[in-house]
Chain A
């Protein structure tokens, strides 16, 4: 199934492309994109199924950190190239549309 480049998907890809080598966890991505975490999760899952994104659980002891382990996401090498190409070809969402989306929590 081809990946639909919705505004929300573009926001997630832009956030990940900011520094393709950097790993980001769910809340971080949600804050960066303005999307609610529940909206970002299915997008990340779809990107992962397409092979654009790889993820892993953080290797920490929750009792020591006093929080659950985070799931980190990063673009794969192929994913970064594909995302750049897709975003350059995609119609850029207007600023007002993005602001409205962020205010609504980005629900698809």
Chain B
């Protein structure tokens, strides 16, 4: 387990696939998490911005690619300001909704109008504050693109009852990945719309197919109890069916995640270097389910262990396929970004890491 002195000599240009390594441990993160949690509660949430920086610094510095680790540079004061703005907006929305549907509706429209802009700013903040080998990542994009890909397209896919959803997802990833850069080099994304429809199709077929088979099978098997006069047997049968269906939902959700993460990273490249993601459905499902059980049984104390376990699996399933030396990236021009959007995404808990 000890790796306190890394292989200092081996430093040739890497040619073989470079798996990303995640060295964080559940035990160490547990200690960081619980101390930060206590301080956040005692300070009524103010400290949570510092807690976020601590956590990210720990995770980023524990993530290693080709012998070098990542670094997080977020400024806690900026994050705190962002969170306050986000809380005011959401608090206003919730209070408005209670006060009158009209005020609530207006607040909802306001939120919808500012969210794409905030999400764009959040992306910029997150990438600008990430560095690898001393060179920062970045995100360009424009407000026009943000509104097109994060408001108009989702709205259209809503209008088409989700038929356009895979298309929207592909376009969004294409936009996000091609606007992301490392130093002055841009990422590129060549995942095709067809592949997204295929991934969504597989998931939907399995999800609903399973629901129909399970629902029909159980109803048939338990028909005696369901239609019988015994009230206890009836409600027991009903609970059994509900529980099995819930379990099925938890089983197939990780499938969607693995299909999408693999699809996205297998079609992402950076200046000739490619990525590879090899998540498996079985392992993902096992980790997600056992994590949920662990968290429930320990009343939440297992949470940080679960977090590290899940992150470790997802990160280490990804590898870089180098195309030449990793020494030649050049830092771009520096641009400081405010954290208002980041605070908003924290509150919304959007997972933009996909």
A binds B: no
Report B's interface with A, CB cutoff 8 A: none
**Which residues of A approach B to under 8 Å, CB–CB?**
none
